[in-house]
Structure 1
Amino acid sequence: MQLPVYLYGQPVLRKVSEDIDAAYEGLEKLISDMWETMYHSDGIGLAAPQIGRAIRLLVIDAEPMAENFPECKGFKRCMINARIISSSEETCSEYEGCLSLPGIGENVIRPQEVTIEYVDEHFTSHREHLTGFAARVVQHEYDHLEGCLFIDKISPIRKQLIKGKLNKILKGQAYTTYRIAPMKK
């Protein structure tokens, strides 16, 4: 089932998410619904806060980016209770967008590499060292679990330049091809 996506201004997007365990009610269906929502929205990642749940759950399928970023080939993950445990000092800048910020995209500077620990949908533990765009996608979705949006990482001047677009989202004037949640204050 496609779930409504929560847009900029929704309080849940600014909350630090909580860990969950295998007994979390409806987890299997929630994960399935998140995949469906992400694919229908033409996203490559979706974090639980973006569908109104402040829990440490995210799904990523970066395969569509593999033509330009080979490290994304076959990169499909469900990550639960993820923690980034290290990141490189080396950074890079790439263009990012977000389902919660429709019509807005900016270059964001992030670490080039990260190491992340998480459990998958079967609660099997993983530790992965990621580089390039795969690392970027994970960091972007991980930030949602920490109550952070990519616009928090851009310069004040760039943020000022997109202020009008942000205000339109807050006023409910955003255009999307996917379902969105009604604005809660």
Structure 2
Amino acid sequence: MAFQRAIARVGDPTLRQSARCVASVNEPDTQTLIDDLLLTMELAGGVGIAAPQVSAGDRLFIVASRPNARYPNAPQMEPTPMINPIIVAHSADQEKGWEGCLSVPGVRGLVPRYSCVQVEYLDRAGNLQTQHLTGFIARIFQHELDHLDGILLIDRVESDQDLLTEAAFRQQILGEAIA
């Protein structure tokens, strides 16, 4: 049975540590962590979550793009556990896009990311997967990969002008009226 785990917040030292490679995908602890990450992410309204965000030091994250209150225009994909993920190639060009983070609540950052990435990872069954990711899903992958190396979105913004509160983001970028 999966359990919702507490999400580490900016300032927690576990978010600044490099995660260790998962030695055995089939270990019960690894499978339990995957289940817990899936539930925690869904309940928090995320489109991705990395093990360090729940204070686990494993190179493992979930990518699960779907439209929700935080990302209403996100493309739909099945939640995908990615174990020991790496980028094997990337486009030369980068594009800036607005990101939020469950570990940095109330803040959005305009972050430059590669527009296309070729990635490899082990799936939940331990099979090697290779994918070509573009757009928002490539952005999620890179964001979550940063978590495995102790990097937060606030480290990637190019200036303080590229940070907004969630309320300012909703008003200025999404054009929502403030109640």
Q: Give the alignment of 1:46-61 within 5 angstroms.
A: 46-61=49-64
Q: Is the contact between residue 111 and residue 158 of structure 2 (CA under 8 Å) also seen in structure 1?
A: no
Aligned to 1:68: 73
Q: Does 1:39 align with 2:42?
A: yes
Which residue of structure 1 lines up, in the alignment, with residue 13 of structure 2? 11
Equivalent residue for 2:176?
A: none
1:102 CA drift (Å): 0.3
- CA deviations on 1:81-132 (whole Å, 9 max, x unpaired) are 0011111111111110000000000111111000111001110110111111
Q: Is the 8 Å Cα contact of residues 75 and 134 (structure 1) preserved in structure 2?
A: no
| Alignment of structure 1 residues 134-149 onto 2, 5 Å | 134-149=137-152
Unaligned runs of 5+ in 1: 166-185
Give TM-score scaled by structure 2 length: 0.82
Question: Which residue number corresponds to residue 117 of structure 1?
Answer: 120
Report the TM-score, using the length of structure 1 for normalisation. Answer: 0.80
Instruction: Kindly report which structure 2 residues correspond to 1:104-183, keeping only aligned pairs within 5 A, or say none.
Output: 104-158=107-161
CA distance in 2, matches of 1:75, 1:29: 19
Give 3-state SS (helix, strand or coil) of 2:56's partner: coil
Partner in structure 2 of residue 89 of structure 1: 92
- What do residues 113-169 of structure 1 show as CA deviations (whole Å, max 9, x unaligned)? 00111001110110111111110011111110111111111124347x77xx8xxxx
Give 1:41 deviation, angstroms.
0.4
Q: Which has the higher contact order (CA 8 A, sep 6+)?
A: 1
Letter in 2 for 1:8: V
Q: Any conservation in 2 of the 1:45–1:58 contact (CA below 8 Å)?
A: yes
Percent of aligned pairs sharing the same letter = 35
Instruction: Give the aligned residue type for 1:103.
Output: G
Structure 1 match to 2:171: none
2:81 to 78, 82, 89: 78
- Distance in 1 (CA, whole Å) between partners of 2:47 and 2:106 is 16
